[in-house]
Amino acid sequence: MTHLQAGLSPETLEKARLELNENPDTLHQDIQEVRDMVITRPDIGFLRTDDAFILRFLRARKFHHFEAFRLLAQYFEYRQQNLDMFKSFKATDPGIKQALKDGFPGGLANLDHYGRKILVLFAANWDQSRYTLVDILRAILLSLEAMIEDPELQVNGFVLIIDWSNFTFKQASKLTPSMLRLAIEGLQDSFPARFGGIHFVNQPWYIHALYTVIRPFLKEKTRKRIFLHGNNLNSLHQLIHPEILPSEFGGMLPPYDMGTWARTLLDHEYDDDSEYSVDSYSMPVKEVEKELSPKSMKRSQSVVDPTALKRMDKSEEENMQPLLSLD
């Protein structure tokens, strides 16, 4: 075992060997091979290329050198292309702070039975008058940056549960093609995290319909890991034990405290509220739409138009088939 693996338990070391092809004898060589590829992309500013940083990209791509480098390049390219998103990229930024305090994201205290961190989002908590969807995405990315420092989570990964209860049609209409594309690029294509499952619960018909349209633009691996449970929490419990879930998900624990993760990041500054409005942020959603190039938007033009969603009647909703089986 090298010093780069010092933070891993014996069980996780074995998992890294068997599932990720991680070999302590060749670890430094693996890292160097990825680092040597940096010169092939002079158009990208690689702000970090130290061993520990590159290692998380290798783990995210099961030690396939080129795939790890491509993810590394996309990580920095995404930040170059969306510079305004990463200005004041810290927990005390007013927009990020408001999103964090509303539980975007939340993190459960207990890991699942695979050692994965369980992230939770309560979609209806979004207060459109106080922060934007971009702020929520920034808060999620900032949280992942903090969490991925843990080598155990680099290997074991994450699970995400999104509760759509009381998420209104008006809120859903803000999930524009460009906003969805920005989130997919930032989370699926550009971040070195392993997501073992993404669970939708209590989703209304318009979220189901929206997902039906964006599904083709997700990677096959991502699609296989998305589960739409609706109101059937028993199917969720087959995959995540209720003993570690809060009562909102039919679990045995008390209701989730939305400020739990925010307090971890903000510490003593949690209660120090600053004046902030969505207009004060330098990159509102409309500007995001302008920033995305036609090429990057090409695959997302067919996302459901909110006016079309309004025309879907109740009978169509009832006829919608489950998108994924819960084996």
Confidence of residue 66 (pLDDT cuts 50, 70, 90): very high
CA distance 204 to 211: 11
Tokens of 176: 């524009």
pLDDT at 267: 85
CA triplet 255, 257, 260: central angle to 5 degrees?
145
pLDDT band at 17 (very low <50, low <70, confident <90, very high): very high
Of the candidates 82, 142, 84, the residue with the CA atom closest to the CA atom of residue 296: 82
Q: What is the pLDDT of residues 193-211, one digit of tens each?
A: 999 999 999 999 999 998 9
Where does the chain have alpha helices with state H?
10-20, 27-36, 51-60, 65-81, 94-101, 133-147, 151-156, 169-172, 177-184, 205-214, 220-224, 233-237, 260-266, 285-291, 294-297, 306-310, 314-319
Residue 10 to residue 19: CA distance in whole angstroms: 14
- Whether residue 303 has pLDDT greater than 60: no
Write the CB contacts of 158 (distance below 8 Å, at least 6 apart in sequence): 116, 117, 118, 119, 144, 147, 193, 194, 195, 196
Q: How far apart (Å, rounded) are the C-alpha atoms in residues 318 and 320?
A: 6
Pick the range with the lowest mean pLDDT from 3-17, 71-85, 270-284.
Answer: 270-284
Going along the chain from its start, the domains and CATH numbers come out as 3-81 (1.10.8.20), 90-266 (3.40.525.10)
pLDDT of residue 311: 38
Window from 39-48, 83-92, 288-297 with minimum mean pLDDT: 288-297
Q: Which amino acid is at 3?
A: H
**String of b and e for 190-225 (b: at least 16 CB within 10 Å)?**
bbbbbbbbbbbbbbbbbbbbbbebbeebbeeebeeb
pTM of the predicted structure, to 2 decimals: 0.83
| Side-chain-facing half-sphere of 61: CA atoms under 13 Å | 22
Can you tell me the distance from the alpha carbon of 306 to that of 2, in angstroms, rounded to the nearest whole number? 53
- Listed residue (274, 46, 250, 80) closest to 165, CA to CA: 250
Measured distance CA(276)–CA(102) in Å, rounded: 15
Helix (H/G/I), strand (E/B), else coil: 212:
helix
Reported as a pLDDT band with limits 50, 70 and 90, residue 2 is confident
- Of 236 and 287, more confident: 236
Q: Sorting pLDDT into bands at 50, 70 and 90, what band is 276?
A: low
Query: Is pLDDT above 80 for 26?
Result: yes
Q: How confident is the model at residue 217 (pLDDT cuts 50, 70, 90)?
A: confident
What's the DSSP call for residue 186?
I
Residue-averaged pLDDT of the chain: 86
User: 135 with 100: CB under 8 angstroms?
Assistant: no
